Structure 1
Amino acid sequence: MTELVLYSERGSSWWPVLWGPVFALLGFGVEALTPGSVNAVAWLLVGGVLAAAAATWVYGRRRLVSVRLTPAELVQGRRRARGQPHRGGHRCRNARGGTSTRRELDDPEGNG
């Protein structure tokens, strides 16, 4: 049985990988409209390098910035915080191994 997921965020989608090839295609198009030779190989390399950089960025964000919250666990990137669900002012385990009240979790500085 799968656990109820209260909140989930992947960190990033894969569509930013397309930015590099799209920018390279636009550069190729502008260069094709101007007088002179067109450097197709250079634009292919530029598109590939930008796509590879974006893929590395997306992969890192998906590994390190993703968030998943269930009633029993909070996962932030590679970090997991397990604890028992709390209601109101009951104490619960925080990520550092101590305990906190809900008010302390909502406002750790004590400003409100």
Structure 2
Amino acid sequence: MSDAAERILFEEPGGRWWLVALGPALCLVVLVAEAIIGSGVHWLGLALFSVLLAGLVALQVVAARRHASVLLTPAVLRNGAETLEVADIALVLPEADPFAEDLEPWEIAPSLGELSGVPRRRTAIGLRLRDGSVVRAWARDGDGFRTELERLVAHEADEADEAEDGER
């Protein structure tokens, strides 16, 4: 692939590794408090609890990075574990009216990724694909993601128009 195709236009990792340190840090605070109070330090209990918390949070971070991450390059859009070629996107659909009584058709379309719907605290964006189907892409920063998608899809359409004009 060329450097332009590998350039990252938008990225959300889904989970952050620094969160794994929160549990052990809390246990360290409790250890210091117990030492200051003088009530006896529970070394083994705090050590085991620290490892347990770090392990559980690490599992959550791995799952979030796999299933709730977003990557947009000039060539591909990846939502979670599903990758879609940008060339397959025909149109970025307009935002839904939050006050409308009826849902837009794209609001009930399948979402990209292997989750059953759009992950919590993510904004859905409707996409019409070249085959006529409609899907929902999603990201935490919905406005930034929409801006990059619209710019990229408009650029792809311009290139396709130029290619057709060149063939004539």
| Bigger shift: residues 31-40 or 9-18 | 31-40
Question: What is the SS of the residue equivalent to 2:87?
Answer: coil
Residues 61-87 of structure 1 deviation map (CA, whole Å, 9 limit, x = unaligned)? 11011101122321011011224177x
1:46 aligns with: 49
RMSD over aligned Cα, in angstroms? 2.0
1:107 aligns with: 95
Residue 31 of structure 1: CA displacement?
Answer: 1.0
Amino acid aligned to 1:14: W
- The answer to whether the aligner puts 1:35 opposite 2:23 as a matched pair is no
1:17-96 map, 5 Å = 17-84=20-87, 92=90
Could you list the runs of 4 or more consecutive aligned residues of structure 1 that deviate by over 4 angstroms after TM superposition? none
Q: How many residues align?
A: 95
Question: What is the SS of the residue equivalent to 1:74?
Answer: strand
Amino acid aligned to 1:73: V
Inter-partner Cα distance in structure 2 for 1:68 and 1:50: 29
TM-score (norm. length: structure 1): 0.74
- The answer to whether the aligner puts 1:7 opposite 2:10 as a matched pair is yes
Unaligned stretches of 5+ in structure 1? 87-91, 93-100
Percent identical among aligned pairs is 31
Amino acid aligned to 1:53: L
Question: What is the SS of the residue equivalent to 1:75?
Answer: strand
Inter-partner Cα distance in structure 1 for 2:16 and 2:39: 38
Structure having the larger proportion of residues in helix: 2
Inter-partner Cα distance in structure 2 for 1:58 and 1:35: 36
Check conservation: 1:72, 1:85, Cα contact below 8 A. Answer: no
Question: What is the SS of the residue equivalent to 2:84?
Answer: strand
Inter-partner Cα distance in structure 2 for 1:85 and 1:53: 38
